[in-house]
A = this chain, B = another copy of it.
């Protein structure tokens, strides 16, 4: 029936140390649950950190790349999918994920949250800004969840998957 896929979105080159640490731990715990980790796949920021975390716990990592080839893929990806779509690939990240965690914020991440809400998927905002929490909750209060720790996010994913 296909494995469960958890999408983790977040900044690339502009990611903070704290965001990357959270992404690493999130990837590790996603892998421990037996879920596949999906990300934007590039070798930087949250995308790279979540893949490294997932591999530290022998998880399977899947990256949906904006580029036409694998040259800028994270070295911790098992499966690199170059799409050649640029940011239009953000919609695939939203559609392919059974649950979505935004770890940090930026324009690309914001588009992925919005595209996920558009198809009525629940999004977990981890360590997000007050402005992001207020805005996305105003778009769809029932499908936006707030998490302040990785453990909390994992519990929220379990609830989303059990619906």
Is A160 part of the contact surface with B, judged by Cβ < 8 Å? no
Collect the chain B residues with CB atoms within 8 Å of residue A85's CB. 84-86, 88, 91-92
Is A62 part of the contact surface with B, judged by Cβ < 8 Å? yes
Interface size range of chain A in the complex: 35 or more
Is A58 part of the contact surface with B, judged by Cβ < 8 Å? no
Interface of A with B (CB < 8 Å)? Answer: 1-3, 5, 36, 62, 64, 68-70, 73, 75, 77-92, 94-96, 105-108, 110-111, 114-115, 117-119, 129, 131-132, 134-136, 138-140
Contact across chains for A79 and B36 when beta carbons are under 8 A apart? yes
> How often does this chain occur in the complex, in copies?
4
Known: A85-B85, A106-B139. A80 touches B118 (CB 8 A): no
Contact across chains for B82 and A96 when beta carbons are under 8 A apart? yes
The list of the 10 closest CB pairs from A to B, nearest first, reads A135-B135, A111-B114, A84-B86, A110-B114, A107-B118, A88-B91, A107-B117, A88-B88, A131-B138, A2-B80
Collect the chain B residues with CB atoms within 8 Å of residue A140's CB. 107
In the complex, what residue of chain B is closest to A108 when comparing beta carbons? B118
In the complex, what residue of chain B is closest to A73 when comparing beta carbons? B2
Contact across chains for A87 and B81 when beta carbons are under 8 A apart? no
Contact across chains for B114 and A78 when beta carbons are under 8 A apart? no
A137 CB to closest chain B CB (Å) equals 8
Interface centre among A84, A110, A129 (most CB of B within 10 A): A84
Bound-state Cα–Cα, A84 to B91, Å: 8
